[in-house]
């Protein structure tokens, strides 16, 4: 049992984390062993993500004054929350871990100001990270200009072939 002062401190900490995190993902962890939880926490810590087991009743009090108040209904049973600045990475780690360990269940979350359901979290997990997206753009920009021109010309040649064939069929 925690005393009143500890409750106030917990509520203050949780309110701050809900407000300052870009992404908040809620999970149920019933059935996971301590070693599995520690493994998950370790994976998340490597990417600057905090994974915290919550006290549901008190956490709901912390949620009331935050952008995450719509998540209140997810806090039933053995609940843990991932707080991060990178929604894609936290969704990927949780999604991969839940596939390997059926006892971890993704419930939903918030990314920015958007509330996500379980399917929404899975969709986020499939997006490329910022670094991956940048690499793809650089790859496209690094394509030799001659190749781009040949691609563009090939399309125009096909169009001109089509138009000349159509004009032959008309006459």
User: Model's pTM, two decimal places?
Assistant: 0.74
The answer to whether residues 95 and 166 belong to one domain is no
The answer to whether residues 154 and 118 belong to one domain is no
Nearest residue to 106 (alpha-carbon basis) of 34, 33, 40: 40
Cβ neighbours of residue 52 under 8 Å, at least 6 residues apart? 17, 80, 81, 82, 83
Q: What is the pLDDT of residue 33?
A: 93
The answer to whether residues 20 and 83 belong to one domain is yes
Q: What is the pLDDT of residue 168?
A: 53
Give me the chain's average pLDDT, please: 84
pLDDT surpassing 70 at residue 158? no
**What's the rounded Cα separation, in Å, for the pair 5 and 7?**
5
Which residue range forms the structural domain that includes residue 139? 132-170
The answer to whether residues 109 and 122 belong to one domain is yes
Q: What is the pLDDT of residue 39?
A: 94
Higher per-residue pLDDT: 1 or 137: 137
* CATH code of residue 59: 3.30.70.1730
Q: How many domains does the chain have?
A: 2
Query: Which tokens in the block code for residue 33?
Result: 């062993």
The answer to whether residues 63 and 141 belong to one domain is no
Question: Per residue in 92-150, pLDDT tens?
Answer: 999 999 999 999 999 999 988 888 898 888 888 888 777 777 888 877 777 666 666 66
The answer to whether residues 68 and 105 belong to one domain is yes
The answer to whether residues 22 and 102 belong to one domain is yes
């Amino acid at each position: 049992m925690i005393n009143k002062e500890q409750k106030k401190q917990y509520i203050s900490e949780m309110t701050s984390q809900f407000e300052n995190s870009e992404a908040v993902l809620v999970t149920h962890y019933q059935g996971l062993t301590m070693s599995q939880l520690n493994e998950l926490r370790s994976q998340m810590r490597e990417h600057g993500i905090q994974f915290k087991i919550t006290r549901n009743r008190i956490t709901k009090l912390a949620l009331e004054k935050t952008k995450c108040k719509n998540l209140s209904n997810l806090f039933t049973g053995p609940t843990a929350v991932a707080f991060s600045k990178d929604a894609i990475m936290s969704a990927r780690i949780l999604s991969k871990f839940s596939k390997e360990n059926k006892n971890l269940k993704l419930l939903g979350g918030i990314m920015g100001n958007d509330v996500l359901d379980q399917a929404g979290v899975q969709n986020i997990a499939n997006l490329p990270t910022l670094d991956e997206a940048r690499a793809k753009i650089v790859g496209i920009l690094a394509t030799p200009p001659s190749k781009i021109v040949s691609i563009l010309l090939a399309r125009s040649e096909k169009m001109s072939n089509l138009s000349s064939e159509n004009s032959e069929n008309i006459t």
